[in-house]
Amino acid sequence: MSEYANKKTCGAFIAAVFAMQGFNILCGGIVAHIVSSAFDHALNAPPYSANRAASLPPQADYVWRIILMVGAIPAALTYYWRMKMPETARYTVLVANNKKQAREDMAKVLADVKQLEEI
């Protein structure tokens, strides 16, 4: 996205990308805590010190799988949105050698930017 940003907002785009890393780490910990707590309350397993064999029921194996699936959702959405995003005009002209497509893509981007500036 920073390729499409103007000089004023380019730094904000880059800062938002890096800020989301910390936010996602925080959200991952919260999701892991919620899922593991839900399984802990639902299964009512005895503590490890009381009964080693019964403290880990077979259903507990689903905890990490659910956490992994929840974490895959943002990655899948990012992949989908990236596939829908047009290439930069520079790539389209120099590598793909398609000036017409580059003009069309940049017209869309500039129209979207103009609409955002009007808001």
Q: Summarize pLDDT for 37-93 with one digit per residue, the tens.
A: 999 899 888 888 999 888 888 888 899 999 999 999 999 998 999 898 877 777 888
Give CA–CA dist 39/42, Å, rounded. 5
The confidence score (pLDDT) of residue 4 equals 62
Alpha helix segments (H runs only) across 5-118: 10-43, 62-84, 89-94, 99-118
With a threshold of 0.85, does the pTM exceed it? no
Provide the 10 A C-beta neighbour count for residue 70: 15
CB 56 within 8 A of CB 36: no
Which of the 8 DSSP states describes residue 59? Answer: G
